[in-house]
Amino acid sequence: MTKIDNRGYAVPDVLVSTEWVAENLERPDLRIVESNSDPLVYPLGHISGAVEVDWARDLNDQIRRDNVSSQAFASMAERIGITPETTVVFYGDSHNWWATYAYWVFQLFGHSRAKVMDGGRLKWEREGRLLTGVEPEIAATRYPTPQRRDSSMRAFRDEVLAHAEAGLPLVDTRTPLEFNGTRRHMLEYPDEGALRGGHIPGAMSVPAKVSINEDGTFKAADKLRAVYVEEHGLRPQEKVITYCRIGERASHTWFVLSCLLGFSDVRNYDGSWTEWGNLVGVPIER
């Protein structure tokens, strides 16, 4: 069964439609995961059988500023009832930003059986599809502890500095007001604590929202190429780093470039501006 209409994506099966999800909710080899910016959203209503993976609680270490350890990832996977053979479908609020962030973290730990529901909560709700407040009863599974995290998809501050100094492409996925230093966070979000506003020198401003349609779905590949390749000059074989404020919008653009357009070397700098805007001695532009 075709997962979604072919819109010219490099990996079309990485997306599934709301129709496909509705038709496959009872599959035992499938787990639907909701991941939101707001932890109050899931309890108010979610797709039947969907479990919550909270970006702050489940995907980030509670002491260090880092992703969870391999052991913690395995424990979370067991709690939500998946094995390495389970296909995980992510969706969420806020243009699927946190859904793609969760997808990205799962890739770091090698869980390749993963997809994103195109359109997220917005499209599901607009279509009048069922939401429930009942949390599913999930039987715990056994999930082997990943041996390592795949660092090829993640950039760290020293690598970002070297990347910028080499004049390689950096994609700032925040709003224009954040990019020019007028604000350090989006209007509707709390300040995450960066002391300085602005952007990494040489970065191009390509807000994450440019990649989606009004209904929350991703734009077709030709329209995405018009933005990223034709307008901003990114090349699919070039090394690219994306960043935002705390990593979620950057993971969304990482998903677009890597999975939908087939760029071969894209890394998400998830330390993003809350790290860079607090570093001593690094350059900043406004």
CATH for 96: 3.40.250.10
Query: Count of CB atoms within 10 A of residue 85's CB?
Result: 7
Indicate the residue among 149, 168, 197 that finishes a domain: 149
pLDDT > 90 in the chain, percent:
91
Rounded CA separation 83/79 (Å): 10
Evaluate whether residue 83 is within a structural domain: yes
3-state secondary structure of 15: strand
Mean pLDDT of 240-266: 97
Residues 45 and 134 occupy one common structural domain: yes
Digit-coded pLDDT (tens) for 176-185: 999 999 877 7
- Residue 214 gets which letter from DSSP? T
Number of domains in the chain: 2
Task: Say if residues 80 and 138 touch (Cβ distance below 8 Å).
Answer: yes
Mean pLDDT of 11-40: 96
What stretch of H or E contains 31?
strand 30-34
Evaluate whether residue 213 is within a structural domain: yes
Task: Say if residues 261 and 218 touch (Cβ distance below 8 Å).
Answer: no
pLDDT level of residue 186 (50, 70, 90 thresholds)? confident
Rounded CA separation 277/193 (Å): 9
If you search the block for the tokens 């946190």, which residue do you land on? 98
Provide the residue range defining the domain that includes 23.
12-149
Residues 117 and 228 occupy one common structural domain: no
> What are residue 240's DSSP bridge partners?
266
Annotated active-site positions, please? 244
Residues 141 and 179 occupy one common structural domain: no
Rounded CA separation 177/260 (Å): 27
For residue 62, give every residue at least 6 positions away whose Cβ sits within 8 Å of its Cβ, in sequence order, or none: none
Evaluate whether residue 5 is within a structural domain: no
Residues 207 and 141 occupy one common structural domain: no
Residues 39 and 160 occupy one common structural domain: no
Digit-coded pLDDT (tens) for 90-103: 999 989 999 999 99
Residues 188 and 109 occupy one common structural domain: no
Residues 135 and 203 occupy one common structural domain: no
pTM: 0.95
